[in-house]
A and B are shown apart, each in its own frame.
Chain A
Amino acid sequence: MPATTNRQLAVRLAVSRALARTRDLDGVYSAALDALAECLDVSRASVLLFDPDGVLRFKAYRGLSSEYRAAVQGHSPWTPDSVDPEPLLVPDVRCEPSLQEYLPVFAGERIAAMAFIPLVSLGRVIGKFMLYYHSPHAFDDEEVQLAAVIAAAVAFAVERVRADEVAHRVEASSGFEPSAAAIGTWEWEVSSGVDRNERGDGLPSGTLRQVRQCNVESSRDCMKILDLDGRLIYINRAGLERLGVEDARDLLHRPLVDLWQEREREALGDAIARAKTGAIGRFQGPCRTPAGIMKWWDMVIMPIVDTSGAIVQFLAVSRDVSAPWQAEAFQAGQHQVLAMIATGAPLAQVLTLLVHLVEDQCEGMLCSVLLLDTDGVHVRLAAAPSLPDEYVRRIDGQPLGPRVGSRATVMQVGRPVIVTDVVCDCDPQWDVLRDAAMASGLRACWSTPILSTHKKVLGSFAMHCRTPRGPSREELRLIETAADLAGAAIDHHRSQEALRQSEERNRAILRAIPDWMFVMSSDGVFLDYHVKNPEDLLVPPEAFLGKSMHEVLPTWLADAHQRSFERALATDEPERLEYSLESQQERRFYEACIVRCDSDRLLSITRDITDRKRAELDAAAQRQELAHLNRVLMLAEQSGALAHELSQPLAAILSNAQAARRLLDHHPVDLDELRATLDDVIKNDKRAGAVIHRLRELLKKSNTVLQPLDLNEVTREALDLTRSDLLLRRMPITTALSPGIPPVLGDRVQLQQVILNLVFNACDAMSTVDPAERELTLTTVADDEFVQIAIADRGAGIPDGQLDSVFEPFVTHRPQGLGLGLTISRSIVLAHRGRIQAENNADRGATFRCFLPVATGQHG
């Protein structure tokens, strides 16, 4: 599953920006509560931090009463010493044993579910934030991960603001800020000065007493004294260090403006000009040290006056304010990294930017990102823009093992590894790399694992230092932040990669399949399509895209689609639709499978099934041919019975007609008798006509005509044809036709054929049975789904193991039969979407059952 979703990234970016804007803790808490409300849709939340006594105190809250806060004050699932705690989710407070004592409090506050999200900095819990819900709440993974993202950002912001506050307190107590009032009192004490030539690096002779009092030499700030032309005549030790210059003489007598970049010179000149008027000149600007590090300076230039009040020199105090500037730059850099991740920049670029960002924060540090291959064994260098090539070559592609440096080890153990000096560290893990590290002048290496949101090791982030030492708290925090950002970047990259591969796979599948695909809105507008050969389409894409299918398709087809759409949306099951369309040359058949693809769109996968359909039609035609042959043979076998069926009415007609003629010769003519006689002629003629009609029906080659049929009626008609034959053959027939059975959808002739086949089959089975023991029973019954007709005989039954094979072709015991009767019966029943089965009766004989589906309203 994608580890870092775009939503998580977006939340992270938003929270990080909101937190970066705040300058105090209240602002941080407020931004955190805003983020929770917005991203997790939780209106009630609180932020609590451990106080110095290790008690959790409410720092900010929303929607909580003072009674509630007082009641739960001090409760905590964690102590300040808890390491890497997991969020505690309480979907229902009534089911959480550890909270039982608070249930009345929760009830009073209408809290039914809650979540404890730890705020962790450098692996330690500094506090928590809480989410409260009115009703029991099932937490999903996404929610918990978003909460963790917000928690990480909040913890970082709290630590940052706290550090800033500490720094400000230190500054305030040192009381550096120069004031005009103080400057105004400074005076030259020319006589007591020490000749600077004697001291070499000391103050110029005639140093102002007050200047000495300021403890110039030991000041942390860069202090310079300028002559009235703005040339440097003195710089203190801190200044030399800050500028990275060893000998002051390299700088002396040079104009101060020469030390600055072109664009800052004007502002500096203005500040000096202002000092010349007796006021204080001040400006801020960036300047690179001789070592090439960009620093941000705050410079104050003030006049130095002699006892007469004349301005004789200037004191320039410049202070390195890069630290706060860097913090801001780091924030901005983080935003840039997050933005790059979100916009899908290449992973290598993102990680390289991240490495630069961290390197800019820690002078002289060289950083690298190693990635664990998806094979989980080899490590790959993802970004190390500043590390020496030789060293880099030794790391890249190494298998994970105990001998390839701490950065690989870190991935195995999954926690930070600090090597303060590779020379002294006798850990065998450095065996392979020690020489390379030494040759590259790298002495210390601090690594931390890069973890996915699911705590899976993705790689490591390492800082290398040229001096043997351990990291400061600040540096550790930087590494942690960098690893965190790298994790987000890698997670996102991998999930995007997985998505891309899956899309590519889908595209490959799409390219491979011959089906047409149409994406449609629920109201039938064509939104998109995929067709391998667009020229196969009856209508070109531009003629249907963006249009409703009612504009494009014939009305009946659009209506059929609409019905399928509604069913697919309602049931979430694929819907099938078969139809045919006439093109210029021919009729082609199509099958559409319609599936819901999201809440209101549908995918219609359409296939040209003309070939299959034609094969099916051919098979159906053959089946009909065979069925017809079966009927002809069946009737041939029954020719005696049929002749009887016809000769009876014909005999009655002839005898009645001849009787009538004789009646006419009687005197008087019995007209009533004559009329009755003629009525009988008509009746019997119709009877003969009906027999011929049924014969013609059975013998005619007709296409299947499906209509709702009463199976009882079909049974009676079939038996009428054969009743006299059965009588002659001494086959007593019993019918038990359930009245009121629902109609079936069928072809009358074909179903009669099935019944006759089964009846003849039953008669054959009983031909050797004593006539007194013969019994042929036809029964119809119905349930909600099927109408069943059962034909039971009292014959020998079907031999074991042949219950299924009786339906196979050419299995026969009748000399005249083709052995196709049961086979054809089965094919007819299957074509009616029914089934046929044979079973032996408990006592004797066999029963054949046909199940035919009840006709549904839409066909009727």
Chain B
Amino acid sequence: MDDIDPLNLVVVDDDEEVRTALRRLLRSMGHAVRVFGSAEEYEALPVLADCLIVDLRLPGLNGFELRDRLRLRGSAIPIVFITGDGGPSPGDTTAQGGTESLAKPFDDSELIAAITRAVSAKHESAH
């Protein structure tokens, strides 16, 4: 179920350990991954991606603020939020305006599922 087509993914997390682990995990699945330590760093270099995996709790702009700014600029890029302090429950998309959300620690299958849902949701809305 987790064998999906290779995607271009971006991870934004201020915790270097989490960044490194996610990059390693996603690469082992065959995806291309770029990582950033903050929303500002990503905004400074907004690479094209199929999905953003963003930590909610970030220094400076937080995850929600980054999403809002992207949407304001007209970007419909799929986003999966990850959060370390409970936060919104997985799959609760309405509260975050249709955004996927995962509580750390999460299983790789949950992550792939969330990414898949986010990407396909974008495609559905686009069609």
Contact = CB atoms under 8 A, between A and B. Distances in A.
A683 B17 contact: yes
Contact of B85 (A643, A649, A650, A687): A643
Interface string B1-28: 0000000000000110110111011011
A662 B25 contact: yes
B107 interface: yes
B108 A644 contact: no
Contact of A652 (B17, B27, B59, B107): B17
Contacts of A135: none
Nearest to B20: A680
A647 interface: yes
Interface string B73-112: 0000000001011100000000000000001111110000
Contacts of A727: 14, 57, 59
Given A651-B84, A651-B104, A654-B106, A663 B28 contact: yes
A663 B103 CA distance: 24
B86 A648 contact: no
B17 A643 contact: no
Nearest to B62: A728
Contacts of A649: 17
A793 to B, nearest CB: 19
Nearest to B58: A727
B32 interface: no
A182 to B, nearest CB: 142
A108 interface: no
A658 interface: yes
A648 B84 contact: yes
A692 interface: no
Contact of B17 (A641, A680, A728): A680
Given A640-B85, A655-B108, A677 B15 contact: no
Contact of A728 (B21, B24, B57): B57
B29 interface: yes
Given A641-B85, A643-B84, A651 B28 contact: no
Given A647-B104, A651-B18, A727-B59, A659 B25 contact: yes
B84 A647 contact: yes
A647 B25 contact: no
Contacts of A643: 84-86
A61 to B, nearest CB: 101
Contacts of B29: 662
A687 B15 CA distance: 12
Interface string B24-51: 1101110000000000000000000000
Contact of A651 (B14, B27, B106): B106
A483 B106 CA distance: 113
Given A659-B28, A662-B28, A651 B57 contact: no
B66 to A, nearest CB: 15
B21 A659 contact: yes
A652 B85 contact: no
A645 to B, nearest CB: 8
A651 to B, nearest CB: 3
Contacts of A683: 17
A205 interface: no
A452 interface: no
B108 A652 contact: no
Nearest to B109: A658
A654 B20 contact: no
A724 interface: yes
Interface residues of A, number: 29
A654 B14 CA distance: 18
Interface in A627-651: 640-641, 643-645, 647-651
A683 B14 CA distance: 17
Contacts of A199: none
B57 A724 contact: yes
* Interface residues of chain A: helix, strand, loop or mixed (majority): helix
B21 A655 contact: yes
Nearest to B56: A728
A650 B24 contact: no
Given A658-B108, A724-B57, A652 B84 contact: no
Contacts of A654: 21, 105-108
A683 B86 CA distance: 23
A640 B106 CA distance: 17
Nearest to A673: B24
A277 B12 CA distance: 155
B28 A650 contact: no
B15 A648 contact: yes
Contacts of A663: 28
A504 B108 CA distance: 93
Given A640-B85, A651-B106, A728-B57, A677 B24 contact: yes
A651 B105 contact: yes
B4 to A, nearest CB: 14
B25 A655 contact: yes
A648 B18 contact: yes
Contacts of B22: 655
A656 interface: yes
A658 B84 contact: no
Contacts of B15: 648, 652
Contacts of B20: 652, 680
A8 interface: no
Interface string A655-692: 11011001100100000010001001001100100000
B111 to A, nearest CB: 8
Most B CB contacts (10 A, CB to CB) among A641, A644, A673, A683 go to: A644
A803 B21 CA distance: 49
A673 B21 CA distance: 12
Contacts of B108: 654-655, 658-659, 662
A653 interface: yes
Contacts of B59: 727
Contacts of A640: 85-86
Contacts of A645: 84
Contacts of B103: 647
A320 to B, nearest CB: 127
Contacts of B57: 644, 724, 727-728
A652 B105 CA distance: 8
Interface in A202-233: none
Contacts of A673: 24
A471 to B, nearest CB: 114
B85 A658 contact: no
A671 B52 CA distance: 29
A724 B62 CA distance: 12
B80 to A, nearest CB: 13
Most B CB contacts (10 A, CB to CB) among A640, A647, A653 go to: A647
Nearest to A687: B17
Contact of A650 (B14, B62, B86, B105): B105
A655 B86 contact: no
Contacts of A644: 57, 84-85
Contacts of B62: 728
A3 to B, nearest CB: 87
Contact of A655 (B14, B24, B84, B85): B24
Nearest to B30: A662
Nearest to B27: A659
B107 A651 contact: no
Given A647-B85, A724-B57, 19 more contacts: A645-B84, A647-B104, A649-B17, A650-B104, A650-B105, A652-B18, A652-B20, A654-B21, A654-B106, A655-B24, A655-B105, A659-B27, A659-B28, A662-B28, A677-B24, A680-B24, A684-B17, A727-B14, A727-B57
18 contacts: A643-B85, A643-B86, A645-B84, A648-B17, A648-B84, A650-B104, A651-B21, A653-B105, A654-B106, A654-B107, A655-B25, A658-B107, A659-B25, A662-B29, A684-B17, A724-B84, A727-B59, A728-B62
Interface of A: 640-641, 643-645, 647-656, 658-659, 662-663, 666, 673, 677, 680, 683-684, 687, 724, 727-728
10 tightest A-B contacts by CB?
A651-B104, A662-B28, A655-B21, A644-B84, A647-B84, A647-B104, A651-B105, A659-B25, A650-B105, A644-B85
